[in-house]
Amino acid sequence: MSIPRVLSIAGSDPSGGAGIQADIKSIAANGGYGMAAVTALTAQNTRGVRGVHIPPPQFLIDQLEAISEDIQVDAVKIGMLANTATIEVVTGWLERSTAAHVVLDPVMVATSGDRLLDADTSEALSGLITRAGLITPNIPELAVLAGTETAGDWEEATAQARHVAKEYGVSVLAKGGHLPGERATDLLVWPGGSVTQVSSAWIDTPNTHGTGCSLSSAIATRVVEREGDWESAVRVAKTWLTTALAAADDLQVGSGHGPLHHFAGQPGAGRRARRA
């Protein structure tokens, strides 16, 4: 089988921990060939975001068309989409794309709890969700999609995920990092309402910058080699993520919430990075 060719459509993180930089590392670490179309440029580091610049929509169109005219895209991971115009460009391109698998990581709620998308943009995102095979919201984002308050326990989160899966006809990986528990547990909910629990060891580390970006791009890569088996792709991606988080402290990058170690366990990965 050929190496999965995976396109990330997301924002850029100059510190390398999240966004397209994390996506390309994640894709490579999971055996794929990574590409990226940039939706936004950010000025950020491990301590926070200082600024965001959004290129004109036509430039995103140019990036996407340049890639698809020359390279077969097997899977697409979608991350930061800053405004309605950007969402509409991506939605239109997906309608013409031959990519078999689409993973959407809906970046909607900041760590502070603030909404990152206004009502008009959220409505446009709804149209994009129907073109994805899997979406990977965290608990606050799941609540926004379900149009309700943030879930306080798994019973509420499961009901919300079932509602979203049925409403949009899409599989939902509800990431449970915001809920209490002894293990890192996510719920994979199918459009028909069935639920599969995916659990892994809880890694106690402050270095979790870019975890959502990395997981979604890993799933996009693995689902290609597993020929569309979302559950298998999620499980192997979660196993890889656990290893990357367990080694995150070894990187010693930055003074805030540092990145995970995408290539942990691979040759040369044991050399310690110099503190930034």
Active centre residues (catalytic): 175, 208, 210-213
Distance CA 77, CA 176 (A): 20
Residues 52-57: contacts with CB under 8 Å, at least 24 apart: 52/11, 52/82, 54/82, 54/83, 54/86, 57/85, 57/86, 57/88, 57/89
3-state helix, strand and coil shares in percent for the chain, rounded to the nearest 5: 40, 20, 40
Which of 266, 225, 216, 224 has its CA nearest to residue 243? Answer: 266
The DSSP H or E segment spanning 172 is: strand 171-175
Distance CA 3, CA 132 (A): 22
The SS3 of residue 244 is helix
Distance of CA 190 to the CA centre of its chain: 18
Facing residues of 259 across strands? 209
Distance CA 101, CA 9 (A): 13
Contact between 242 and 186 under an 8 Å Cβ cutoff? The reply is no
